[in-house]
Structure 1
Amino acid sequence: MWTPAALASEFRRYRKTVWRVVEAQHRISTNRLAENSEDQKRLEELAEQAKPNLPKSARGLHYLFASPFRYGHKSPSRFRRADERPGIFYASEAESTAIAETAYWRLRFFSRSPDFVPGNRTSEHLSFSVAVSTSRAVDLSRPPFDTSVKNWTHPDDYTACQDFARIARKAEVQLIRTLSARAPGDGYNAAIFDPALFAGKEPAYRQTWHFRFEQGRLNAIAAFPGGGNFAFEPEMFGLPGLRQV
């Protein structure tokens, strides 16, 4: 069992550009509720007041940066227990890895919904990048942590990761680097605990992606002028195959 002091002795420098993929909710949705720009501004101010408070270091950041730290979701994630706050900004070191992570969660939702048959509707996602830098990172893919790599990349059981993250928070770890469980081999993820790591306040908008389930697989297609195209079958992630209407 690691202690905060022992963990602090393993700090590494981390300086990279990381990627995140989100559902395309970046367009202003309050437009349809307001008659003019003044009413819209007031509506957005009221909505902001109703939200949980942001950590101090996240204030003033673009909402794509800040939102993950605001909420404590009821469903746990790899390095966060249910309802634990502040939240974590999960990202990947390659755009393709972030796409694979997103594809897994969509296919997992499909496969675990009883009697659900995915249609062929296209959903829109947005990938964006941000440079991060810290001297308080730990790398679970390197010694002495790599001996427990099966714990860090278990597809479903996050207990070891959450226990580690609890100690990491006490040690004031700002970032945890780990192998991706969804894009094994050369895929790496970063769990960012402190928004102070971001090099800027605005993300670099990179690419719109269209996700579409057809012929038993989920296709991720980059919108023009991008040329990326990925295909993911449920079995690639250890999920049961899906039928389609």
Structure 2
Amino acid sequence: MTGSPPWGEDWFGTAAHAGRELWRGVEAQHRVATMRLVDSLQDLELLEQLLESSKPPLPRESRGLHYLLATPFRYAAPWPSRFRWPHESGAWYGADEPRTVAAELAYWRWRFLLDSDGLVQEQLVTEYTFLQARFAGRELDLTMPPWASRRHLWRDPQDYTACHRLAHRVRGDARLSIAALRYESARREFAACEVVFSAVNLTLAAPNAQQTWVCKTTRDLVLFTREREALEFRP
């Protein structure tokens, strides 16, 4: 990383303690796939044990957490995300509202469909669990001044260079004591998202709020539905 960073060192002084109720969406399709492989409860328990033993060990700080909170910290994915380099330790992404979660997921489902030659003319139907969690810790809010003056960098739809550079600084400098970044969604204008870098700053909301959404993806639109709600996105 060369050149001057797109922020001033004094900007980090705006970090402050925050408490947030955040939503995250996780694909639930694995339940159906697992059930297709077993014929009894004993088989199911054995299969789950085998699957668990094949996974990387949970970081110490993630042990005892609900798996939907702990899983993102378990894996170092080979592809990047907005505030995480490839193969870097995990980060937990959430948003203030379920609609924002759906907008973010819709974009990536659509991208997956278009990038798959055998699927581009098909439709994909998947099920998601939306889970609400509570964040508490020191937060840097990129939607507020002076960080908001670089809004075009933090929500660039394709280029994550500035975001990676900032996350690297925050995660690598213990003196800053910043556990999360708050930022504007690139897929839903003016909607707030949060990336949390440490599992110790997350707990399940009480009561544990969950929603089940069904997602239908075609090359022209992505549709999320639950009960009497429907959200349509046209990438």
Distance 2:37 2:43 in 1: 9
1:69 maps to 2:73: yes
RMSD (CA atoms): 2.7
1:154 maps to 2:156: yes
1:90 maps to 2:89: no
Q: CA deviation at 1:33?
A: 4.5
Q: What SS class does the counterpart of residue 101 from structure 2 fall into?
A: helix
Residue equivalent to 1:163: 165
Q: CA deviation at 1:147?
A: 1.4
CA deviation digits over 1:20-65, x for unaligned, max 9?
1111146385555556545543443333232112221110112111
Identity %: 33
Residue equivalent to 1:177: 182
Contact 1:7 1:168 in 2 (8 A): no
Q: CA deviation at 1:70?
A: 0.5
Distance 1:114 1:32 in 2: 27
- Provide the TM-score with structure 2 as the length reference: 0.85
Q: CA deviation at 1:115?
A: 6.7
Structure 1 window deviating more from structure 2 (153-162 vs 171-180): it is 171-180
Distance 1:46 1:215 in 2: 37
Contact 1:24 1:125 in 2 (8 A): yes
Where in structure 2 are there 5+ consecutive unaligned residues? none
CA deviation digits over 1:70-109, x for unaligned, max 9?
0111110000111111x01111011110010000111122
Distance 1:88 1:109 in 2: 21
Distance 1:26 1:113 in 2: 20
Alignment of 1:48-197 (within 5 A): 48-85=52-89, 87-114=90-117, 116-134=119-137, 136-171=138-173, 172-185=177-190, 187-197=191-201
Q: How many residues in Structure 1 have an aligned counterpart in Structure 2?
A: 227
Q: 1:220 to 1:118 in 2, by over 3 A?
A: farther
The equivalent position to 1:219 in structure 2, one of 220, 223, 227, is 223
Distance 2:205 2:86 in 1: 28
Contact 2:6 2:150 in 1 (8 A): no
Distance 2:207 2:82 in 1: 24
Distance 1:51 1:43 in 2: 13
Structure 1 window deviating more from structure 2 (24-33 vs 91-100): it is 24-33
Q: What SS class does the counterpart of residue 9 from structure 1 fall into?
A: helix
Quick one: which amino acid aligns to residue 111 of structure 1? Answer: L
Distance 2:54 2:78 in 1: 18
Contact 2:66 2:204 in 1 (8 A): no
Structure 1 window deviating more from structure 2 (209-218 vs 74-83): it is 209-218
Contact 2:224 2:231 in 1 (8 A): yes
Q: What SS class does the counterpart of residue 199 from structure 1 fall into?
A: strand
Q: 1:120 to 1:40 in 2, by over 3 A?
A: closer
Q: 1:203 to 1:110 in 2, by over 3 A?
A: farther
Distance 1:204 1:115 in 2: 39
Q: What SS class does the counterpart of residue 204 from structure 1 fall into?
A: coil
Contact 1:178 1:189 in 2 (8 A): yes
Contact 2:113 2:219 in 1 (8 A): no
Q: CA deviation at 1:121?
A: 4.3
Residue equivalent to 2:18: 14
Residue equivalent to 1:242: none
Q: 1:141 to 1:201 in 2, by over 3 A?
A: closer
